[in-house]
A and B are shown apart, each in its own frame.
Chain A
Amino acid sequence: MDYFIELFFSGLTRGSIYALIALGYTMVYGIIGLINFAHGEIYMIGAFTAYIIASVLSIYGFPALSIIILAGFAAAIWASAYGYTVEKIAYKPLRHAPRLSPLISAIGMSIFLQNYVLLAQTSDFLAFPELIPDFDFMEPYADKVGSTDMVIIVTTIVVMIALTFFIKMTRIGKAMRATSQDRTMARLIGINVDKVISVTFVIGSALAAIGGILIASHIGQINFYIGFIAGIKAFTAAVLGGIGSIPGAVLGGFVLGLTESFATGYVSSDYEDVFAFSLLVLILIFKPSGLLGREEVEKV
């Protein structure tokens, strides 16, 4: 039973990480129907910014708590700025282009951003500072679940709830839902669609940055390539949960993380990704639009 609980928590941690990145995918997809392959890179840039700012602050001798907060803010701000700029450069001119063009543009952007960070910073792995301290009250359980894991899981759930409220309650949230349902109609009733899309990218990127910081301090290292693999998994999670749905992205992340964790624990980590992808195929066969996705109504 202990073993089960341990695996459960390690799956939950992993799933939360996927979920945080998947939220960005799912929001962007919901609004403009684009698989934003550069999203993983935004997450990487968020982590790098946090690394740089945190290192600078700690060299200047700032206290630990202020480092966490300032580095977190800086990462969110800059990641959002990158998300915003990428949208303006690579996707906005393609709004009326064939469906696959923005996808290729996104892949190009992803290659570009990876190499940009590689050249401007380094190809080496960097030691990411442990921003999250070990809590004393967690010490008795430290051999099962770490403090960082706890922070990651709680953050994900809080973010999901906050985001759901934001979209259900606020004006801009309503505008987002309207845009995602029918862009032309939304424009007709006076919604500034371009602004809504920008806001979506900004929020998605900020969430990716938060994910970036949490993961980097969990595994203690970053390099320019971390966005790619995490991005693909997060995208899988988003589709699994039903792309376009916010609780779906989180659920998809958890399901994927738990599957991988149990597959590793009870079978073999050699095939953890095979299990993950097979599960995806199975779920999509029985529910073609994901766990919580809307059934697409075909318009004739």
Chain B
Amino acid sequence: MKKSINKTMVSTIMSTLLGLTFAATGVANADTLKLGVAGPHSGDLASYGIPTTKAAKLVVKQINSKGGVNGKQVELVIEDDVCKPEIATNTATKLASEGVKLVIGHICSGATKAALPIYKNAKIIVMSPSATSPGLTQSGDYPNFYRTIASDDAQAAKEVEFAVSLGLKKIAVIHDKGDYGKGLAEFAKKFIEANDKVEVALYEGVTPGAVDYSAVVQKIKRSGADGVIFGGYHPEASKIVTQMRKKRMKTVFISDDGVKDDTFIKVAGKYAEGVYATGPQDNSKNPLSKEAIEAHKKAYNKDPGAFYENAYAATLAILAAVEEAGSTDYDAVTKALHEHETDTPLGKIKFDEKGDAIGVGFAMYQVKDGKYVEVK
């Protein structure tokens, strides 16, 4: 006992001396509820992580102004993981050592996988607005993990089902060799093989960032595919679509929510017309969603970025569960997340036993006149 007090004291002194920002655990801020937010806030994937911190800030500001959760003010602890697994473990350790019990994040699936064992060990509840890797929930390894986005296999199933409904017969499945893109493509391939109305004409990965994709495009053409399902992000998608259209190919192009981003339309320009992409369901009729977007416009004077609504919903859901449980006790919060329904921009959500949000799914969109329009 004595030793641990000494440790705390010494560490307080040392940290003050070094001018570091970490505080000795749980002494100064015993009356606040700490909510961790982890994701990429710098580096090339920063644009996927920053909207989440903004969402968390807005929700917390609103809740704090109404008196907080269980009478405690919510305090955000924001940490950068640059989407790298090895840094994510540092981030997770830091959050755990600061006494955080709830975390919104991480953003990338790889970083989430690396960080989860640490959170699990420290009994910290984690809710990601964007990590879609199916294994995170379906493996059953991480009972402390929840997410407010549907997993990749649901998305791939939607894409294949849609391709069949368009009457396509031969599909080229292309991916960007990344965790997200390749995972999605694997599922798409599996679903196509299981369906006897369509067949896989080609299955290939392209190197992200390469200067030219015309060889792959020629290969798609030669394979005789009447449709392409692409797993990956918009920079590669727009390059492939552009080169296909420049080669006068009219092949149907179906992709994922990494492509359902306005930057894709901006970059691919006229070639984006007619491209299909799955994305989170359209919630624009939901009053809470309107409110969330308005709040963002008011605070930051622009439209919110990627995963903003999912993050908004996650923050609301996790804090509501704490309110319901009456404390941050792990078992009580877990129970509340499974049983208690919360009103969020994504609709009323609660979580199934694996941690996926019930009622959150994907819809299909198509680019029409420079805008994504939902396909009914």
The residues of A with any CB-CB pair to B shorter than 8 Å are 3, 6-7, 9-11, 13-14, 17-18, 123-127, 142-144, 146, 148-149, 215, 218-221, 223-226, 228-230, 233, 260-261, 264-265, 268-270, 272-273
Question: Chain B interface: which size bin?
Answer: 35 or more
When chains A and B are docked, how far (Å) is the Cα of A124 from the Cα of B221?
A: 30
Quick one: which of A9, A10, A220, A269 contacts B207, CB cutoff 8 A? A269
Some 25 contacts from A to B, beta carbons below 8 A apart, are A10-B212, A10-B214, A14-B215, A17-B212, A123-B46, A124-B263, A125-B234, A125-B235, A142-B246, A143-B247, A143-B249, A146-B246, A149-B214, A215-B212, A219-B243, A220-B239, A220-B267, A220-B268, A224-B44, A233-B211, A268-B204, A269-B206, A270-B205, A272-B207, A273-B207
Residues of B within 8 A of A (CB): 44, 46-47, 177, 204-207, 209-219, 221-222, 234-235, 238-239, 242-243, 246-249, 263, 266-269, 271
Q: Which residues of B contact A261 (CB under 8 A)?
A: 214-215
B177, B209, B246, B248: the one contacting A226 at CB < 8 Å is B209
Q: B46 touching A125 by the CB < 8 A rule?
A: no
Main secondary structure of the interface of A (DSSP, over half): helix
Cβ-neighbour of B219 out of A126, A221, A265 (below 8 A): A265
Min Cβ gap B306→A in Å is 11
Are A260 and B215 touching (Cβ within 8 A)? yes
* SS class, residues of chain B in contact with chain A: helix
CA distance A17 to B243 in the complex (A): 16
- Closest beta carbon of chain A to B239's beta carbon, Å: 5
Q: A10 to B218, Cβ gap below 8 A?
A: yes
Check A143–B211 contact: CB distance below 8 A: no
By a CB distance below 8 angstroms, the chain B residues around A270 are 177, 204-205
Which residue of A14, A123, A144, A268 contacts B211 across the interface (Cβ within 8 Å)?
A14
A6 nearest CB neighbor, chain B only:
B218
CA distance in complex: A149, B215 (Å): 13
How far does the alpha carbon of A31 sit from the alpha carbon of B218 in the complex, in Å? 40
Q: Are B248 and A142 in contact (CB under 8 A)?
A: yes
A53 to B99, CA, bound (A): 51
Complex CA gap A37/B44 in Å reads 20
